[in-house]
Each structure stands twice: as C-alpha cells, then as structure tokens.
A = this chain, B = another copy of it.
Amino acid sequence: MAHTITIEYTTKKKQQPHVNQLGFGKYFTDHMFIMDYDTEKGWYDPRIVPYQPILMDPASKVFHYGQTVFEGLKAYKTADERILLFRPDKNMKRLNKSNDRLSIPAIDEELALEALKQLILTDQDWIPEAVGTSLYVRPFVIATESCLGVAPSRQYKFMIILSPVGSYYAEGINPVSIHVESEYVRAVAGGVGNAKTAGNYAAGLKAQEGATDLGYAQVLWLDGVHRKYIEEVGSMNVFFRINDTVVTPMINGSILEGITRATVIELLQHWNIPVEERRISIEELVEAQHNGSLKEAFGTGTAAVISPIGSLHYQDEKLVLGDGITGELSKKIYDAVTGIQNGVLPDTYGWTIEI
C-alpha cells in the first residue's frame, strides 16, 4: 500500500455508556479516521486521531450543495472474542459507486478497508458484546472547498466514525405498521436514489414525520413516475412473500442496492426458495392480500437486518399481513443472517472477515 496510516492516541478516554443506553448512533468511540483530498495532491494523510469536532468553513460545499456520500456496516464481537465484519468489500465498492455519481474522486478501496480495520482495532474495547448489539461503522465523504460556485469541490475529507449500538429489537423482533406514501416521492430513475447520499435521506424526512403523526412506523415509497410500483420501505429495501415465492423490487436506478438485500436473495437461492427481482405494483399487493396469497413482508437494511411488516395502510385499505406476527420465513432469514454476522452460526458462504 502506498499510504501509511498514522495513529495519534487519545490521552483522555471517554466513559463508555451502559449497554442499555446505547440506542442507535448516539455515542461515538475514542478515535476517528480522516484522510484529506485536494486536486493537486489526491487523497493524502490518512490518519487515526482522537474523536473530535472538525473545523469547517461556513462556505464549505457540503453545506450548500450536498456533495457527500456515506456507508454503513457493523462490527461484531463473537462469544470467543473474535471481531467480525460482514461483507465490508461490498460497502467499499458501493462507496466508490456513490462517489462516481456525486462527482467525488474515487478512494482506494483497499486503503479504506485497512483504515476501517485499524480504527476498529484501536477502539475494540468499545464493541458491545450483548446479544443484538454491535459497533456501527460509518465511513463518509464531505466536500470541504470554501466556494459557492455550483461545481464539484476541489477538496474533500473522507472520515470513519464508530458508534456502539444497542439491539434494534430490545423487546424481540416485532412487525410494524407501514403507511403507503402517496404524496411524497423519495427518488426517481436518473436521479441519485441508487447512490448512498445525503439528499435521499433529506427528501424522506417530511413523509416520515407525517407517517409518525398518523401512528405508523415507516413509509412504503412508491415510484415517482407511475406512483404505483414499490420502491423501498423507510430507508430499507423491501421483500414480499406471495405464496411460496419471494419478490423484491428490481434494481431500477432509483432504489439502493442494499447489501442485506443481496444477502437475502443469495440465502433464498441457497435454500432453493424461488426469489424474483421485478416490478411490483401496490395493486398486485392489494390483490394478493385479498386472495390470501400475501403471506409475509419485511424490510432489509444494516441497522435492523430484517424488519417485519405487520400491516400496510394504503388510501382507505388496511392490509394485515399473515396473522400480524413475524412470519416464519422472516424469522428464519433474520436468524440465519444475524447468526452468521455475530459468529453464532458457521459462515459457509464466506461473508464474514475476521480482523
């Protein structure tokens, strides 16, 4: 590797929060990784330093034009004290795919992965060990040039921060009720919906607030062109079991190519359960629920892994899925994926790497 990652250790370790306080993304570890970029030098000075605020010029492009991308993955500590990462190479590939879409210079994937590993090792005593907990890893890039011209930045920072996170399902995995969103749209083909970039999340906040006010946990996004094909649920990919076939929206330019999504598809294929990536209309789901063939539905993402859907609320219809409890297949997938992630089950697919 061309670069050496320097480490400056903190002289004042923080008090770690109790495992019950963790929640999601609220606490950060003692160190962080930074690497700078400018058009003359390229990416330079990769370093691990004490976690600290950064100085930003108020004219930094990220504040005004949203030139930024991110990734999310988790590190797990196994019962025998090994540290596992789940398919981190896929995150680094997707980071560069997002970079390309946002006109941000590519990052050496090997270096980024090495940085991530070294940072986790540096703060390994922060990885929580209770069932369902993990260390959430957030690599991200921000445009730092101080200039208000609308054009790609000539300076960036690539950073990695770590947050110990609690069990997503403190009281067990339970289905949630979902509002099918008819007013707002998350993304459209030709836009940035398939990149992991800030603007997609900003666009979803208002609809999420509306759904929360109505008593729903999340929104189900429909496509922006026809306003009828299923896209994502909240910030997760989504799957439906119709009779004994599992269907999920195909990659179409406006949904994120989730790594958990890919994992679920591969698992189903290994299990010889038919799985289809295709367009799915909301009418098809209504019809399937009416004729009894819609058995289960669930979201997939890094944070929750599997998030079962109990009911879908579309205009005046309330579609209750299955018997309102977590479906059999949803539970089986959840157990298989989390089992491999935290080292309880053998990883026969070669998905985990040990640090």
Interfacial residues, chain A to chain B (CB-CB below 8 A) = 23-26, 28, 32, 51, 53-59, 62-68, 70, 101-103, 136, 138, 140, 142, 146-152, 159, 161, 163, 183-192, 197-206, 208-209, 224-225, 227, 234-235
Contact = CB atoms under 8 A, between A and B. Distances in A.
A65 B25 CA distance: 13
A57 B53 contact: yes
Contacts of A185: 188-191
Given A64-B138, A183-B190, A205 B161 contact: no
Closest 8 CB pairs of A and B: A199-B199, A25-B148, A66-B198, A185-B190, A66-B202, A65-B201, A188-B188, A53-B55
A68 B202 contact: yes
B202 A198 contact: yes
Contacts of A186: 191
A311 to B, nearest CB: 22
Contact of A208 (B151, B187, B209): B151
Contacts of A202: 65-68, 102, 192, 197-199
Contacts of A101: 206
Which of A25, A54, A57, A191 lies at the interface centre, i.e. has the most chain B CB atoms within 10 A of its CB? A191
Given A102-B206, A151-B208, A185-B190, A201 B58 contact: no
A32 B186 CA distance: 34
B58 A63 contact: no
A224 B191 contact: yes
Given A24-B148, A224-B191, A198 B65 contact: yes
A254 to B, nearest CB: 9
Contact of A62 (B62, B67, B146, B159): B62
A192 B201 contact: no
Contacts of A200: 66, 199
B190 A184 contact: yes
A149 B55 CA distance: 23
Which of A25, A32, A65 lies at the interface centre, i.e. has the most chain B CB atoms within 10 A of its CB? A65
Contacts of A197: 66, 199, 202
A58 B161 contact: yes
